[in-house]
Amino acid sequence: MNPLEKFKDWYNEETQKSTVRIPSACCLSSIGIDGFPNARMVSLKEVREEKFVVTGPMNSKKGKELLANPKASLIFWWTDTERQIRVQGEAFQIEDELADHYFKDRNKESQIVSAISNQGAEIDDITELMTLFKQRKAECTNTEIERPKDWSGFYIVPKRIEFMEFNKNRFHYRELFTRNNNKWYKVMLQP
Binding-site residue positions:
40-45, 61-62, 84, 174
Residues making up the annotated binding site for FMN are 40-45, 61-62, 84, 174
Whether 154 contacts 71, CB under 8 Å: no
Alpha helices in the chain (DSSP H): 3-17, 61-68, 96-105, 108-116, 126-139
Query: Can you say whether residue 127 is alpha, beta or left, with left for phi > 0 and alpha for psi between -120 and 50 degrees?
Result: alpha
Q: Where are the alpha helices (DSSP H) in 23-125?
A: 61-68, 96-105, 108-116
105 phi-psi bin (left φ>0, alpha ψ -120 to 50, beta other)? alpha
Quote the CA–CA distance of 71 and 31 in Å, as a whole number. Answer: 7
